[in-house]
Chain A
Amino acid sequence: GQQVMQIPQYQHVQEGEDFTTYCNSSTTLSNIQWYKQRPGGHPVFLIQLVKSGEVKKQKRLTFQFGEAKKNSSLHITATQTTDVGTYFCAGPRLHSGNTPLVFGKGTRLSVIA
């Protein structure tokens, strides 16, 4: 079946270091979304990418959608303790309109001050 895979599963970084998580889909995606879940909280929508090769930035976060629309990445420059949490990517299911999304298993980021 359709799969969305994320690597790494965990990442520990020193504060100030950069961080990247990668998302790969077994199928071409019409769009991809990223969510962040703080410890003890609920996932919160960050951004949606739609176009092939699209790059979007939110302050220190850079999101990229691959040319083939099968992969995506989230890069955080100079991590801060506020970046701690689990980052999920998600894409639409095939043949079901746009619902429900298929989520990756997430990358849990720890930042050591």
Chain B
Amino acid sequence: SQQGEEDPQALSIQEGENATMNCSYKTSINNLQWYRQNSGRGLVHLILIRSNEREKHSGRLRVTLDTSKKSSSLLITASRAADTASYFCATDGDSNYQLIWGAGTKLIIKP
């Protein structure tokens, strides 16, 4: 069963614009992670945010976490063509190892 739901399912923006994706989950978590997947490189870990954190930055990425709403957002600033990929959130749920995934947001950056 899938824990997370990403929103939107697909997003198409112009290069240079910001992209925001959202994730909602169902159970309590220890942490939430965002991964990127494209056909060339498989799943790549982007960022991990722990349940006691509210915001985290890594380069052009900004992640927020609202545990009261069981939701997270991923913001990619100044998008580039290379950001075209599917983005997944994954939570650990009741486990500290088993990741439970949403269906992903497909992001297309138009040049």
A binds B: no
